[in-house]
Amino acid sequence: MKIVLDPGHSGPVEPGACAGGVRECDVVLAIARLLAEQLEEQGYEVLLTRSGDIATDDLAFRAELANVHQADLFISIHANSVANPAARGTEVYHFPGSEQGRRLASLIQRRLVAELNTADRGVKEANFQVLRETQCPAVLVEVAFVSHEQDRQLLTAYAGQLGAAIAISTAITQYAGR
Ligand SMILES: [Zn+2]
């Protein structure tokens, strides 16, 4: 099984959410790298859409990479942010109407909340470009909020990043039925 991992955003050009000195692009890359290790250990073939900072804010290449390589799954990894500092927790998105996307999103949501003890914001549908343009089942994971103090600690601590990676990889293994 071939899995494309997509650490959201790109670096200085487009860092994503920023709060408390933390950039979304950095924490999601750290989680994606750990997740790649977990999945490779289990025999999955893994491709990353980026392995460091990249100088673009373009989104199209992300789904394109999955399509060109005929990936079986596409996992985009993000961290959330809102103006309200009390907002917290985990949510996972799939493309509207995608049954496989919903199933994978539900498994990842359940595992992440159990592993990280984050607030359960549920599985949601969204017409995001990376979900719409990928030909394989695709999900977008919002691990936690960089704008919430405790969530931010989870996202920046090695233990939290590893916990997120283990949770997602366990869910993928469940999804794949082995
Ligand atoms: Zn993001």
- What are the 10-residue block averages of pLDDT along the chain, 178 residues in total? 97 94 98 98 97 93 97 98 96 98 98 98 98 98 98 98 98 92
CA 8 to centroid of ligand 1, rounded, Å: 5
Helices (H), 52-123: 60-68, 99-116
Q: Model-level pTM greater than 0.95? A: yes
CA 155 to centroid of ligand 1, rounded, Å: 13
pLDDT at 94: 98
Residue type, 136: C
Residue type, 110: R
Using CA atoms, how far apart are residues 87 and 80, in angstroms rounded to an integer? 9
CA 178 to centroid of ligand 1, rounded, Å: 30
Domain positions in the chain are 2-176
Structure-token pair, residue 94: 């799939």
Does residue 133 carry a catalytic annotation?
no
Domain 2-176 homologous superfamily, CATH:
Zn-dependent exopeptidases (3.40.630.40)
CA 141 to centroid of ligand 1, rounded, Å: 9
Residues whose beta carbons lie less than 5 angstroms from ion ligand 1:
8, 16, 78
pLDDT at 178: 61
pLDDT at 175: 97
